Chains A and B, each alone.
Chain A
Amino acid sequence: MNPMNPLIVTLLVILGAGLLLVFALVGIYNGLVLARNRFKNAFAQIDVQLKRRYDLIPNLIEAVKGYMAHERETLDAVIKARKGAMAAEQQVAANPSDPAAMKELNRAEGQLDGTLGRLFALSEAYPDLKANQNMLALQEELSTTENKIGFARQAFNDSVMAYNNRREVFPSVMVAGIFGFTQAALLETAEEEREAPKVSFK
């Protein structure tokens, strides 16, 4: 036998093993990038609906203002909460993988839901308002938008979860650590929203 052969064979084996390792690393890295881009992409879908809701609120305020003039405080709270939520939404849209921004959005959205809920609860006391066509249309529109947000949020959270899970398992966790794939936060339903009366005027 040629004395070079064992050396070359060893070399080849090392080469093969190295190749497999590289494949595995590339595969893991690509998988992480893919999962991260996937949930970022999913946020773009909610984003449109959130904006739609923010756009509807001034119309709502306009519609109820005439009837609920002495509920100024509640109206102002809604306006303020909307502003806060919009600012938070912009932060998250810029980088959906930033957990701090997402927490802020969760908080701001919770506040908005809470104030809106209060507004609707109060409006129950105004029979004229309840019969107002404009108001009914707006409420219908808002609740449809909320349904859409709910479904899109579920999809978003699923993909965030998929990313986080992928990130945490071995050996991905090592690659994730090296390349800075950080844990992403969920877009959660605030408690207030669950309690918020589903705008029904029957």
Chain B
Amino acid sequence: MATDFFQQQDAARGKTGRLVVYFVLGILILIALVYGLLLVFIHYGGGGALSWWRPELLGVVAAGVGILVGGTSLFKVSQLSSGGQAVALMMDAVEIPVTTTDPRQKRLLHIVEEMAIAAGVPVPPVYLLDEPGINAFAAGYAPGDAVVAVSQGCLDYLTRDELQGVVAHEFSHILNGDMRLNIRLIGLISGIMVLSVIGRVMMFTGGRRSSRSGGGDSRGGNMMLALGLFVLGLVGAFFGRLIQAAVSRQREYLADASAVQFTRNPDGIAGALKKIGGLKEGSRITNPRAAEFGHMFIANAFAGRGLFGLLATHPPLVARIRALDPQFDSKFPEVLQVAIDRQEAESSRPSGGGPPRLPGLAQVPLPILGFADGAAARVGHIDAEEVNHAHALYASIPDPIRVATQEPFSARALIYALLLDPRAELRDIQLAQVKAGATPTDFAETVRLAAPVQALEDRLRLPLLDLAMPALRQMSPGQHKTFRSQVEALVNADQRLSLFEYTLRCVLHRHLDAQFLPRRSMGPLQTSAQELASPMAKVLSLLAWEGQPEPEQAARAFDTGMRSYIGGDHTYRLPPPREECSLAEFNTALQTLHQSVPAIKRRIVVACAACIGANQQVSVREAELLRAICDMLDCPLPPLILE
């Protein structure tokens, strides 16, 4: 549990790698078994002497099984990879509008918003499953396109602390890279299952046809082949499920433990699990479409039936609760609907939370010796401190602005206002741009929000972007296109846009494009730190110039960062002059860096932090810039609590 985000990500990737090995093994075994089955079938059907070696038959079987299983798996994975929203919508989940007036829904949204701000990821859309049981799941491919879905039962029966535990559990799946693993698991299982489906279809049609034609030897043979395939498919699926269960159960324990770490409150998630045990409906999900998503849920979505109890996607409830609460006596409480305090729902204060820690108390050790490593250690990690801090951040956002994040009409104007440069002459050019490009109502809204946004502290800007994300995702693809070109026009109004504003724009595009534009094919994964030195130098040079205008100081900051990245001497002596560092190059460089393995990402984060901290002081703007860069790398960094 003490391992950091990058190790977790590596572990998840390692698990995926092992899965592929299992999978290939499974296909090979299946090929051998189908081959054997066909040999017996040929022999039985009077195909002459039984010969064990028929290369051409083996070839055909290998091709057939490979195409079938591999094809189905790929098809399934590609379907599920279209993002978390697709999964949620497939299960008939309905997105909870951010402007909802239902107090229970509002409470849930507040919890998710806090958790997201605390983790430094965009607020995921929250979906509601119309199910009376208590269950929840997270889906998506990366933190940026994740969704969280909870059942109606969660809202009805869980207290705020318990609900927070459940949400924290789901965030752990999001941050630990479990969702990608889940999608591959689903693909694998359905690939293997396809054999049994075909066997069943053959039994059905074969049986019918031969009953008409009178039957005979061939009928028996066909039936045997069909039955054989059916059984093989089931056996394959059995082993598939075993792998799945083994992988998935471990991740559940990890997520439970992380939920405690995130909230520092073992009673939350433990209480929720106890209520699942005590509730008549338990964690049951009745929607048949949910069948293949079983292991994505927080607890068993289907009643354990006989043999399949062995193959449960989750560890037994009692064992999970005991891991959190050793005193648990296996007696589940009676579960009643919880009342909701309207006041609490409105104010978004937790019932039992301590006073939020003030930003004045430095959590990152200053002076900056440990800053770089400290920042890397905090990536993808939440603790109760950060949730409280997120609380305080959330509370310090002025009301008109917070309201504006809640629906797409004003959220767009808010983004326009956020991208306005602090320098007045630049801002005027940008405003003229909005006036020319947007509708009069949009322009009026932007102007209305410009003043309060300008007065906003820097530390609130990135959280604000994260908060506005659910509303912005509500746009239709056509609306997004207009919005995107508006944003580009704002950024290009003058090429001298500040690095911070420019990075906000990059973060925005990265998250929204994931939803609205077709997924770009990923380049090859970079495993060599040396090869990435050149994009790294581009990023560091802009960072160095951002922190200090003096060339000597900038050179020193650049050198510190570069040394940290390479781990010794490097050939990039000096950063290029400020004028030669283009913002577009910065973006391209970050996108290249994004393609690296977790271990390298860790070095990138450390190097950026080292460069920023080279002059022994970190401004809020720099810290937020670091967070934005981490976000671009898919390494969510919680808000830094700085002096």
Contact B408 A158 (CB under 8 A): no
| Interface residues as binary, B85-96 with A (CB distance below 8 Å gives 1, 0 otherwise) | 010011010110
Cβ contact of B60, chosen from A8, A151, A156, cutoff 8 A: A8
Binding site secondary structure of chain B: helix
Measured CA separation A12–B68 after assembly (Å) = 10
Q: How far is the CB of B410 from chain A (nearest CB, A)?
A: 7
**How many chain B residues touch A (Cβ–Cβ < 8 Å)?**
40
- Shortest Cβ distance from B444 into A: residue: A147
Chain B interface: which of A31-39, A64-72, A117-125, A175-183? A31-39
Q: Tell me if A102 counts as interface (CB < 8 A to partner B).
A: no
Contact A45 B101 (CB under 8 A): no
Q: Tell me if A189 counts as interface (CB < 8 A to partner B).
A: no
Contact B474 A155 (CB under 8 A): yes
- A5-B57, A45-B474, A148-B407 in contact; A16/B94 too (CB < 8 A)? no
- When distances are taken between beta carbons in the complex, the residues of chain B under 8 Å from A3 are 47
Q: Tell me if A169 counts as interface (CB < 8 A to partner B).
A: no
Contact B89 A5 (CB under 8 A): no
Q: Tell me if B29 counts as interface (CB < 8 A to partner A).
A: no
Measured CA separation A2–B54 after assembly (Å) = 9
In residues 139-186 of chain A, which contact B (Cβ within 8 Å)?
147-148, 150-152, 154-156, 158-159, 162
- When distances are taken between beta carbons in the complex, the residues of chain A under 8 Å from B25 are none
Cβ contact of B94, chosen from A26, A44, A152, cutoff 8 A: A44
- A148-B407, A152-B409 in contact; A12/B479 too (CB < 8 A)? no
Q: How far is the CB of B385 from chain A (nearest CB, A)?
A: 34
Contact A12 B94 (CB under 8 A): no
Measured CA separation A34–B94 after assembly (Å) = 12
- A5-B56, A48-B100 in contact; A152/B408 too (CB < 8 A)? yes
Measured CA separation A48–B86 after assembly (Å) = 23
Contact B57 A8 (CB under 8 A): yes
Cβ contact of B64, chosen from A15, A42, A44, cutoff 8 A: A15
Measured CA separation A151–B64 after assembly (Å) = 51
Q: How far is the CB of B480 from chain A (nearest CB, A)?
A: 9
Q: Tell me if A4 counts as interface (CB < 8 A to partner B).
A: yes
- When distances are taken between beta carbons in the complex, the residues of chain A under 8 Å from B100 are 48
Cβ contact of B101, chosen from A12, A34, A48, A155, cutoff 8 A: A48
- When distances are taken between beta carbons in the complex, the residues of chain B under 8 Å from A2 are 47, 54, 56-57
- When distances are taken between beta carbons in the complex, the residues of chain A under 8 Å from B45 are 4
- Shortest Cβ distance from B68 into A: residue: A19
Measured CA separation A17–B71 after assembly (Å) = 12
Measured CA separation A33–B91 after assembly (Å) = 10
Measured CA separation A162–B475 after assembly (Å) = 13
Measured CA separation A158–B481 after assembly (Å) = 13
Q: Tell me if B343 counts as interface (CB < 8 A to partner A).
A: no
- When distances are taken between beta carbons in the complex, the residues of chain B under 8 Å from A27 are 75, 79
- When distances are taken between beta carbons in the complex, the residues of chain B under 8 Å from A156 are 476
In residues 2-24 of chain A, which contact B (Cβ within 8 Å)?
2-5, 8-9, 12, 15-16, 19, 23
- A4-B47, A27-B79, A158-B479 in contact; A151/B409 too (CB < 8 A)? yes
Q: How far is the CB of A136 from chain B (nearest CB, A)?
A: 15
- When distances are taken between beta carbons in the complex, the residues of chain B under 8 Å from A147 are 409, 441, 445
Contact B97 A37 (CB under 8 A): no
Contact B479 A154 (CB under 8 A): yes
For A3, A26, A49, A152, which residue has the most chain B Cβ atoms within 10 angstroms? Answer: A152
- A19-B71, A37-B92, A48-B97 in contact; A158/B474 too (CB < 8 A)? no
- When distances are taken between beta carbons in the complex, the residues of chain B under 8 Å from A26 are 75
Contact A151 B63 (CB under 8 A): no
Chosen A-B contacts, 16 in total, with CB atoms closer than 8 Å, are: A4-B47, A9-B60, A15-B68, A19-B71, A26-B75, A30-B79, A34-B90, A40-B94, A42-B474, A44-B94, A48-B97, A52-B99, A147-B445, A148-B410, A155-B474, A158-B476
Cβ contact of B479, chosen from A38, A47, A151, cutoff 8 A: A151
Contact B86 A19 (CB under 8 A): no
Measured CA separation A48–B403 after assembly (Å) = 14
Q: Tell me if A51 counts as interface (CB < 8 A to partner B).
A: yes
In residues 585-620 of chain B, which contact A (Cβ within 8 Å)?
none
Chain A residues with a Cβ under 8 A of chain B: 1-5, 8-9, 12, 15-16, 19, 23, 26-27, 30, 33-34, 37-38, 40-42, 44-45, 47-49, 51-52, 147-148, 150-152, 154-156, 158-159, 162
- Shortest Cβ distance from A9 into B: residue: B60
Q: Tell me if B523 counts as interface (CB < 8 A to partner A).
A: no
Contact A33 B479 (CB under 8 A): no
Measured CA separation A19–B69 after assembly (Å) = 10
Contact B71 A152 (CB under 8 A): no
Cβ contact of B90, chosen from A30, A48, A159, A162, cutoff 8 A: A30
Measured CA separation A83–B67 after assembly (Å) = 60
- Shortest Cβ distance from B474 into A: residue: A45
Contact B474 A8 (CB under 8 A): no
Q: How far is the CB of A32 from chain B (nearest CB, A)?
A: 11
Contact A49 B476 (CB under 8 A): no
- When distances are taken between beta carbons in the complex, the residues of chain B under 8 Å from A23 are 71-72, 75
Contact A155 B408 (CB under 8 A): yes
- A41-B95, A44-B95, A158-B478 in contact; A16/B407 too (CB < 8 A)? no
Contact A15 B198 (CB under 8 A): yes
Contact B89 A152 (CB under 8 A): no
Contact B474 A152 (CB under 8 A): yes
Contact B63 A12 (CB under 8 A): yes
- When distances are taken between beta carbons in the complex, the residues of chain B under 8 Å from A37 are 89-90, 92, 94
Measured CA separation A148–B71 after assembly (Å) = 45
Measured CA separation A40–B72 after assembly (Å) = 30
- When distances are taken between beta carbons in the complex, the residues of chain B under 8 Å from A15 are 64, 68, 198
- A37-B89, A38-B89, A155-B479 in contact; A48/B99 too (CB < 8 A)? yes
Known: A2-B54, A5-B56. 19 other contacts (CB 8 A): A4-B42, A4-B47, A8-B38, A12-B64, A16-B67, A19-B194, A23-B75, A34-B89, A34-B90, A42-B474, A44-B94, A45-B407, A147-B409, A148-B410, A151-B407, A154-B479, A158-B477, A162-B476, A162-B477
Measured CA separation A40–B88 after assembly (Å) = 13
Measured CA separation A12–B66 after assembly (Å) = 11
- When distances are taken between beta carbons in the complex, the residues of chain B under 8 Å from A42 are 474, 476
Q: How far is the CB of B407 from chain A (nearest CB, A)?
A: 5
Measured CA separation A101–B574 after assembly (Å) = 68
- Shortest Cβ distance from B42 into A: residue: A4
- Shortest Cβ distance from B197 into A: residue: A22
Measured CA separation A148–B101 after assembly (Å) = 16
Q: How far is the CB of B434 from chain A (nearest CB, A)?
A: 16
- When distances are taken between beta carbons in the complex, the residues of chain A under 8 Å from B71 are 19, 23
- When distances are taken between beta carbons in the complex, the residues of chain B under 8 Å from A41 are 89, 94-95
Measured CA separation A152–B99 after assembly (Å) = 12
Contact A12 B408 (CB under 8 A): no
- When distances are taken between beta carbons in the complex, the residues of chain B under 8 Å from A4 are 42, 45, 47, 57
- When distances are taken between beta carbons in the complex, the residues of chain A under 8 Å from B75 are 23, 26-27
- When distances are taken between beta carbons in the complex, the residues of chain B under 8 Å from A158 are 476-479
Q: How far is the CB of A61 from chain B (nearest CB, A)?
A: 21
